[in-house]
Structure 1
Amino acid sequence: MTDVVLVLRHGERRESVEKNRRETAERVHDPGLTDRGRRQADRAAERLRKADVGEIYASPFLRAVQTAAPVADAVGVPVRVEPGLGEHLDPERFDAHPELLGRAERVERFPRTDTDHRPLLEPTFPEDAADAERRIGETARRILDSADADRVLFVGHRATVDGVAHGLVGSAEGVEAPPCGVTEFARDGGENGEERGTDWRVERSGDAAHLDGEA
């Protein structure tokens, strides 16, 4: 049974600093990380190297997979790409379901991709914020129903952090999600001989101490 869930938001994305990116981008709605974002991901990987992460699940958006890759290398665990953890498909941001990196290219670029993983939940377009929260929360619960690891890592977006919070503790109020910040949820009980419960609590929110001094 999983007792700890860690949620890592992706690092700084290119779209946030390259204002004209959409005019030349191959996949308009799937920006990757900036150089700074990659450094942030490397810092997060060092932070999580000794976190005893046993399973990693990532949103299929490029910036999330790029963030998950160095963590997977650091802890020696494959990345299971899970669409249900993906970005909120807001019709005000997307005009259709976004085109993402294809599976074959993803596996080639990120060798630690788990090719045996089959998606648990496919998002539908369009969806409002509440729909996205429910979808991500349901995905998190499905993952935990079958997870074998004591500690599981999800890598995604602000919406991923919020959705997991809603799915596990019922609310994302007060939960922060800075780029490459780590939010930790712990299952009540399970220590000092206590029976492990079904309730979850927020242990830490948007912790980005590992990024101190990152320019």
Structure 2
Amino acid sequence: MSQIVWIARHANRLDFVNPDWFLTAQRRYDPPLSDDGIVQTKQLARRLQGEKIAHIFASPFLRTVQTANAVAEVLDLPIKLETGLSEWLNPAWMTEEPERLSTPALKELFPRIDTSYTAQIAAKYPETHEQVRARSGQTARCLAADFFPDHILLVAHGASVLGAAMGLVGEIAKTEVKASLCSLVKVVRHNPEWLLELKGDTSHLSEIEEVIRFA
């Protein structure tokens, strides 16, 4: 059976809905999901139900963990925190390395987090566009190889969704993949080749963004 790697971007984030949140937030670069984002996560979970996913990997940012948790609840799976899927640590967006909740703090909020898992790839602030694509691509290749032949889900951010897809299918992802909020990319291994089957599908969502937003 061919391996399938699903790659999802997190759902809508609170600071996209309420930009003023950023002004007083304790962790300004780690916003939670918005109310409509929570709805999107449930729609994503319903879409992936029955897809025989065996492992869920998520960026350790709050919005990606929230998105992954909705799927994990429906699929009855643990969540493995993988820093290689992190947000683009872009100094033009972030004046400092982003502060995040610790793994123990996340575990208290989301008991499905598997604290025995060790992240495979690091993400280091600051990084260029080329660097985020390289490390998220390396992450996708590493996880697919280590957990083959199981189907896996990667929950990431706009830049790392694209980078992960590029890591498997190459440069074609740069023009084909549209990483809108809570969208799905589907990559299928037909040895030795990876083929792009979904390029940012949003058919599971009741509302989609007209313009793709990034931080």
TM-score (norm 2): 0.92
Q: Say which SS state the counterpart of residue 101 (structure 2) adopts.
A: coil
Following the alignment from structure 2 to structure 1, what is the Cα–Cα distance between the partners of residues 35 and 111? 21
Following superposition, the deviation at residue 53 of structure 1 comes to 0.6
Q: Deviations over 1:55-107 (max 9, x none)?
A: 00000111000000010011111110000100111110112221011111100
Alignment of 1:87-166 (within 5 A): 87-166=87-166
Does the aligned pair in 1 maintain the 2:5–2:153 contact within 8 Å?
yes
- The change in CA–CA distance for 1:213 and 1:119 in structure 2 (over 3 A counts) is closer
Of 202, 205, 214 in structure 2, the residue corresponding to residue 208 of structure 1 is 202
- The change in CA–CA distance for 1:31 and 1:2 in structure 2 (over 3 A counts) is farther
Following the alignment from structure 1 to structure 2, what is the Cα–Cα distance between the partners of residues 55 and 46? 16
Following the alignment from structure 1 to structure 2, what is the Cα–Cα distance between the partners of residues 170 and 214? 27
Could you say which residue in structure 2 is the equivalent of 1:193?
none
Following the alignment from structure 2 to structure 1, what is the Cα–Cα distance between the partners of residues 103 and 206? 35
Does the aligned pair in 2 maintain the 1:2–1:147 contact within 8 Å?
no
Q: Deviations over 1:113-133 (max 9, x none)?
A: 011101111111111111100
Alignment of 1:1-215 (within 5 A): 3-171=3-171, 172-188=174-190, 197-212=191-206
The AA in structure 2 aligned to 1:107 is: K
Runs of 4+ in structure 1 off by over 3 angstroms are none
Following the alignment from structure 2 to structure 1, what is the Cα–Cα distance between the partners of residues 144 and 207? 35
Over the matched positions of the two proteins, sequence identity in percent amounts to 37
Q: Say which SS state the counterpart of residue 164 (structure 1) adopts.
A: helix
Following the alignment from structure 1 to structure 2, what is the Cα–Cα distance between the partners of residues 131 and 214? 29
Does the aligned pair in 1 maintain the 2:202–2:208 contact within 8 Å?
no
TM-score (norm 1): 0.92
Count of residue pairs brought into register by the alignment: 207
**Gaps in structure 2 of 5+ consecutive residues:** 210-215
Following the alignment from structure 1 to structure 2, what is the Cα–Cα distance between the partners of residues 26 and 114? 26
Following the alignment from structure 1 to structure 2, what is the Cα–Cα distance between the partners of residues 202 and 4? 10
Following the alignment from structure 1 to structure 2, what is the Cα–Cα distance between the partners of residues 160 and 71? 19
The AA in structure 1 aligned to 2:13 is: R
The AA in structure 2 aligned to 1:181 is: S
